[in-house]
Homo-oligomer: A and B are copies of this chain.
C-alpha cells in the first residue's frame, strides 16, 4: 500500500501528549493551536511524517497521529448525551453495516453515531439522519463536516411523527426517548427482513418498546448491554481500572418480518 506518509494541509491530526492528553485539530495553513500546554503552529506540523512528534513553544511534545474513528468519535462536540464506541461498534456489526449500505438514523444528536455509520458505509453508501431540534442538528452538521463525512450524510430536519421519507430500507437506528410512539413509521421505513436497532437508558423504556414492537410485526428480538472494562496497562501490576462507565443504554434489536405469518402463528 503506497499510503502517503506526509501530513498535509487540511488533514485532521490527533495531537497525543505523552501523558495521555489528546486533541484532534484540522490543519489550516497559517493558523495555530493554543492550549494550556502552549502554542503549536499548524505550519510546523504540515510536512511532518505521521507518527512524528511536535513541540509546543513551552516544550511539551505531542505525537502527530492519524486519528482513528474511535478517537474522532470521542472528539465530537457533545451537546447531547452520545453513545459510546462500545455501543456504536456492536450496533454497526449487529446490523451488518458495510461499504455501500444505506441506513436511516432517527435522532441525530451530536452526530457521533452518524459519523460512525458514515465511516462504515463509505462514500458509496448513504446515511439519512433525522433530528427535530435545529440547533442540535447544526452541531451535528458541523461535526460531520469537520471530520470529512458530509458526502454520504443527508440531514433531515423534522419530526418522525410526520413519517420517514425513505422506505424499503434494510437498516434503521433509533435514538430517541419514546420510540414506542413511532413504530408504525419504523415499519413503513423498513423492508421485510430489515434491521431495527435502538438504544434506551431505562428498563421502563425497553419494556414499553418491546410491547409495541411485538404487536406490530417485529420479531427476533435481542435486548442486551455492552459493558467495557478498562485495565491499567502496566505489565507488572495488571489490574482493572478503579472505576468504569457502568451504563450508557440498553440495546434493543429486532427485525421487521412478514406480519401475516406472525399473526397466523404467534
Contacts and interface: CB of A to CB of B under 8 A. Distances in A.
A220 B65 CA distance: 11
A3 B203 contact: no
Given A16-B220, A93-B89, A102-B1, A210 B227 contact: no
Contacts of A204: 203, 207, 236-238
Stoichiometry, as copies per complex, reads 4
A165 B242 CA distance: 35
Contact of A61 (B67, B236, B245, B261): B261
Interface residues of A, number: 103
A58 interface: no
15 contacts: A1-B126, A16-B220, A20-B220, A49-B192, A51-B194, A63-B219, A63-B220, A63-B258, A65-B257, A68-B95, A69-B96, A120-B120, A214-B235, A222-B230, A225-B228
Contacts of A119: 96, 98
Interface in A96-124: 96, 98-100, 102, 116, 119-124
Interface string A188-226: 000111110000011110111011001000011111111
Interface stretch (A27-35, A38-46, A135-143, A166-174): A166-174
Given A18-B266, A225-B228, A243-B244, 5 more contacts: A1-B168, A50-B192, A52-B258, A203-B203, A210-B238
Given A192-B49, A246-B240, A98 B70 contact: no
